[in-house]
Amino acid sequence: MPLPLTSSHFPGLRVARAALFWLGFVLVMTAGPAFANGAAPVASAVRVEETGQGARLLFALSSPAQAAAYVMAGPDRVIIDIPELNFQLPPHTGQAEAPVRGKKSSKIISSFRFGLFAPGKSRIVVDLGRPALVTKVASVSKADGAVELQIELREADPAAFTLAARAAANEAVARDLMGDSPVKPTPRPTDSRRPMVVIDPGHGGIDAGAQGKKNTIEKDVVFDFSRELKAHLEATGRYRVTMTRTSDIFVPLARRVKIAREAGADLFISIHADTISDTSGVSGATVYTVSDKASDKEAAKLAEKENLADAAAGLDGVDDSSDVSDILFDLTRRETRTYSHAFARTLVNYWHEAGRLNKNPHRSAGFLVLKAPDVPSVLLELGYLSNEKDSASLATSEWRAKAASAMVRAVDSFFQPRLGSGVEAGRPAPPAN
């Protein structure tokens, strides 16, 4: 039964396209064999120069590359799209220095990040401290053979910035959403008796997620764990498993949901590992389910943060018009949520074998990635990267193996009614409350 899902609207797209020609959008072609030896150019160093009314961001490249830049508002950013670059830069490069209390950054470039955005495409996102427009983006070959990607910004008045951002953002969203899906959904299964579990490693590519102690980065921690979990689930022979990303690549939240639905997911597990600022004492795993009203303030804050993943990568928020008033939709969604809650409780029970649980281990909030109306979904926070103990254990393969096998037992328990009875289709029986 196909269900009505959200659709994105891009009013003013044509107007925006026209406006792009004179605002904010600079495209510079640079001749040169960017992939001379089949490998992406290496970005080996970067520096920032602030010059009063302007700022420059300069990347040292191993060979030239063609880049395009444009601005986006709310938060104010500059997006630079470029063919795949191999960023060989220290992990915390570009992160903002801790802001001084009550003092707003007066710099034009307050922070920046970079990474793979789609297959063959890298992206650099610059967070602006003051509104600015791009005056130059080019990779310049110097006399000594060095190549520099030069991004030059000039302070602009807020009205001009807003206008440029509106035009460019529409264009960028359209381009991103019309692009090829970075993860090909698996074709409809022939073996429908084996439940399909979709694992969603949070963040990826340009969106690094949380940055924890000792250089731990959320996107890497959750990817390693997701792979381990996939291997454990497949080893049982009882499940088919798909991942929403199979490399360090950005995947928009809506596309993660789409991948799950297209794969015919029976269970969707989004894996994260976040930080809580100023509360390094908070630790342990937490399982989240979706709800219209958050279970508590922290859960609401976390959902808000996770829902910003698209913005971090330079995508504007996709209209979430999921308030579809359709009785079948409502019934399906309610049924799905019952299953999601059941799995969350099961997972909390089995997690004891693997390690620490948060003192409030099952919470709920409005996570966009959990909004498929017909796929039972949970978001698992493996622990807090801001906690010394969590951060250390999450990085070890022993911990990953132990946690993954506990999760397999939770998944087994969830699907037991279905696997046990050998019933072809359908979900496990709802739990007795």
Give the residues lining the site for Zn ion (CB under 5 A).
202, 209, 272
Q: Is the peptide bond before 185 cis (omega within 30 degrees of 0)?
A: no
Residue with smaller CB distance to Zn ion, 166 or 272: 272
Residue 123: half-sphere exposure toward Cβ, Cα within 13 Å: 28
* Angstrom distance (rounded) from CA 295 to CA 274: 18
Q: Which two tokens stand for residue 368?
A: 């966009």
Nearest-CB residue to Zn ion?
272
Q: How far is the CB of 377 from Zn ion (least distance, A)?
A: 15
Of the pair 185, 202, the CB lying nearest Zn ion is at 202
User: Taking the complex as a whole, how short is the minimal distance between the CB of residue 251 and Zn ion, in angstroms?
Assistant: 13
User: Using CA atoms, how far apart are residues 247 and 205, in angstroms rounded to an integer?
Assistant: 8
Query: Nearest to residue 408, comparing CAs of 192, 195, 261?
Result: 195
Backbone angles phi, psi at 380, to 5 degrees: -105, 120
Integer Cα distance of 392 and 399 in angstroms: 10
Element (H, E) at 257: helix 253-262
By beta-carbon proximity to Zn ion, the closer residue of 82 and 208 is 208
For the chain, what is the total number of helices (H) and then of strands (E)? 9, 16
Contact 89, 43 (CB under 8 A): yes
For residue 419, which amino acid is it? Answer: L
Judged by beta carbon, residue 209 or residue 361, the one nearer Zn ion is 209
Q: How far is the CB of 414 from Zn ion (least distance, A)?
A: 23
Cβ 209 to Zn ion shortest distance, Å: 5
Which of 209, 212 has the CB closer to Zn ion? 209
Residue placing its CB nearer to Zn ion in the complex, 169 or 385 = 385
- Name the residue nearer to Zn ion (CB basis): 64 or 202: 202
∠285-111-149 over CA atoms, to 5°? 120
Task: Tell me the closest approach of the beta carbon of residue 306 to Zn ion, in angstroms.
Answer: 5
Cβ neighbours of 325 (radius 10 Å): 7
Strand order in the sheet with 67-72: 26-28, 67-72, 77-83, 121-128, 109-118
214 secondary structure, DSSP code: G
CB of 381 to Zn ion, least distance (A): 8
Between residues 280 and 307, which has the closer beta carbon with respect to Zn ion?
307
Rounded (10°) angle between helices 13-20 and 158-178:
110
Pick 203 or 232: Cβ nearer Zn ion: 203
We find the least distance from the C-beta atom of residue 296 to Zn ion, in angstroms, to be 18
C-alpha 221/C-alpha 396 separation (Å) is: 10
Minimum CB–partner distance for residue 186 and Zn ion (Å): 24
Q: How far is the CB of 207 from Zn ion (least distance, A)?
A: 9
The candidate with the shortest Cα–Cα distance to 278, out of 408, 101, 430, 104, is 101
